[in-house]
Chains A and B, each alone.
Chain A
């Protein structure tokens, strides 16, 4: 078990394509770090550089106290779980799990014992003599896990290990991975494009975009205090609503103009964000999490929405366009006449979601309402907004607006 550190790591392919830029990350001994980002963001390349499967063009990777830039994979003492599992088809499950041990010339009896222990942890004991082709997808995934843990390596690297499983199995296996990692206490780097996996698994989550690290923080902090538009839009499902707005009023009495409607901001919003005062009278990007909006028509709107009696300046009005009942809550889609946020970050987010952003004077929002709401498609609706929990971003840089007083955890602790 060891600390893994990346210092100024970059990757440039021979054809000049740059996959990773100046990546600084320190994964503490025993920590579970999730690298997340849309496809093509360089997260897998970063992982493969740690694994030694990809040459490190710039910077330094250390495992424990050892710089491993020039150390071949086989001598790095790390284990990897591949997205495709990469099980040896000609070997039984037992030999698959024990392959690495037998290459290290471990005595047969010890291999047997360790393989059986690992198989026990993952519930594979009765499958030990089968071939991978006779296993289900979930079992193959577990064999791949067993092959990693049996080696008792310095660190685990996992490259989207759940993406070939169906949804139900994925949730199950996710919990299992979390449990095993906690029990073994092995430093783990886990790559995924799925923000749910990132949030549920990681001690800390590192969000990447186009080869650059955007933010590293514990999941909740990432959710509550995203460093920029990209992180804000990427973490959370449904995603944070982003609209253009204008900050008006004065420091004692700030207001937000959004699509011809006015929201009153509580004074502590400015107190928490000293830099926000500088945006008075200017356009900025406003972010609202779906759960910070509620049907104002519900007499006892829950505390989650901020206030039981939304006064004037705490509500938006619109027309319901779509209602998705999830059981525990209801997702309500509506639009307001505010300009779409079109920045490089939102374009990247849209690309990842398989859609497109266009300049428009109308923005679709999603609110997560209490299941007791009675709104129907086509109804006019008044939405109470928890104005104390809004997010603000610079419209040009996309950076979150905070200020020296309460600086969010920066790009990296390193």
Chain B
């Protein structure tokens, strides 16, 4: 009952610092030379091995890059590794030829017009829904959330035909859903939302309740709390969701094969249409594939730091 009886809480800030220093020291407490040498060697070996595996995994991509920089004739004459002996083969001619094709450039823009709105819509709608599922009281909330989770297991394939039929019937004074960019976006958003809501809801629910209550006492409405507390704190989850969503939609072929028309087709569908069974047109496929690969990479590297950011440190206790 007295104050002195209670155990004192350790302040997290101090604990963090101690932990950082402590781990380094604890790693090598008085071990023999042999043990330490083995550890170092093991560490080095393991790293070398991992680097090797990573390089091995990069070989096809490297091959693609090299192939995209060689002429069609060179590619047909021999494998991409010949470039090591004949570096003079490399040129940007395939790229400039590809970028001169208006249907490729159109498909590139279509990919962006599909991917960016989809990602934005999914993030915005899902974060609002996730906030409601995590922090607002309304009847049937848990059942509704269960339903959303249940939708996670519905495969895209089973919905293709019914949705295609439905789209066929939608015609707003000449605007046809089927074959339009809006139709593709809508389908992607619908199938992106269950996972997005699930992910964000669980992240938001882990935000300490006290923070929301403090904001409420400070005069915040639900909207203010969402915008000024939850959204900034949800940064890491929202960033990872955004990256994943972007990658999925950017790389999608199936949905666009079904729903996109010729003037709304994204790069993946256009590249697929350029595939020939016997004669190689590698001078189109390789640079096209490489271009479609480089932009998601840029997006990933731009946002990856949010994956690991511990924004919540120091908020409570």
Contacts and interface: CB of A to CB of B under 8 A. Distances in A.
B24 interface: no
Given A89-B313, A133-B313, A82 B13 contact: no
Interface stretch (B63-71, B78-86, B166-174, B207-215): B207-215
A35 interface: no
B1 A86 contact: no
Contacts of B219: 74-75, 100, 103-104
B157 interface: no
Interface in B169-220: 208, 210-211, 213-220
Q: Which of A82, A134, A197 has the most CB of B within 10 A?
A: A82
B221 A131 contact: no
Interface stretch (A162-170, A262-270, A401-409): A162-170
Interface string B305-317: 0000001111111
Interface stretch (B3-11, B100-108, B144-152): B3-11
Contacts of A167: 3-4, 6, 8
A74 B312 contact: no
B313 to A, nearest CB: 5
B230 to A, nearest CB: 11
A53 B313 CA distance: 25
Contact of A196 (B2, B14, B217): B2
A83 B215 CA distance: 15
A80 interface: yes
B140 to A, nearest CB: 15
A101 to B, nearest CB: 9
B315 A86 contact: yes
A410 B30 CA distance: 68
Interface in B217-231: 217-221, 224, 228-229
Most B CB contacts (10 A, CB to CB) among A99, A195, A196 go to A99
Contacts of B217: 51-53, 73-74, 78-80, 100
A360 to B, nearest CB: 21
A100 B218 contact: yes
A85 B317 contact: yes
Interface in A48-83: 51-53, 72-75, 78-80, 82-83
Contacts of A259: none
B8 A166 contact: yes
A94 interface: no
Contacts of A90: 232-233, 235, 311
Q: Which of B1, B4, B215 has the most CB of A within 10 A?
A: B1
B316 A84 contact: yes
A86 B317 CA distance: 8
A137 B10 CA distance: 9
A147 B217 CA distance: 11
Contacts of A104: 219
Given A84-B317, A170-B3, A237-B2, A73 B312 contact: no
A166 B9 contact: yes
A88 interface: yes
B210 A133 contact: no
Given A86-B208, A89-B311, A164 B218 contact: no
A88 B11 contact: no
Nearest to A353: B1
A222 interface: no
B315 A136 contact: no
A86 B228 CA distance: 14
Contacts of A82: 210, 213-214, 316
A79 to B, nearest CB: 6
Interface of B: 1-4, 6, 8-9, 11-14, 208, 210-211, 213-221, 224, 228-229, 232-233, 235, 311-317
Interface of A: 51-53, 72-75, 78-80, 82-90, 99-100, 103-104, 131-137, 140, 147, 151, 163-167, 170-171, 194-197, 234, 237-239, 352-353
27 contacts: A52-B216, A72-B216, A74-B217, A74-B218, A74-B219, A74-B220, A74-B221, A75-B219, A78-B217, A80-B213, A82-B210, A86-B214, A88-B215, A89-B313, A99-B218, A103-B220, A131-B314, A134-B13, A135-B314, A136-B11, A166-B9, A171-B3, A195-B1, A196-B2, A196-B3, A237-B1, A238-B2
Given A90-B233, A134-B13, A238-B2, 11 more contacts: A52-B216, A85-B317, A86-B315, A87-B315, A89-B312, A89-B313, A99-B228, A100-B218, A103-B219, A164-B317, A352-B1
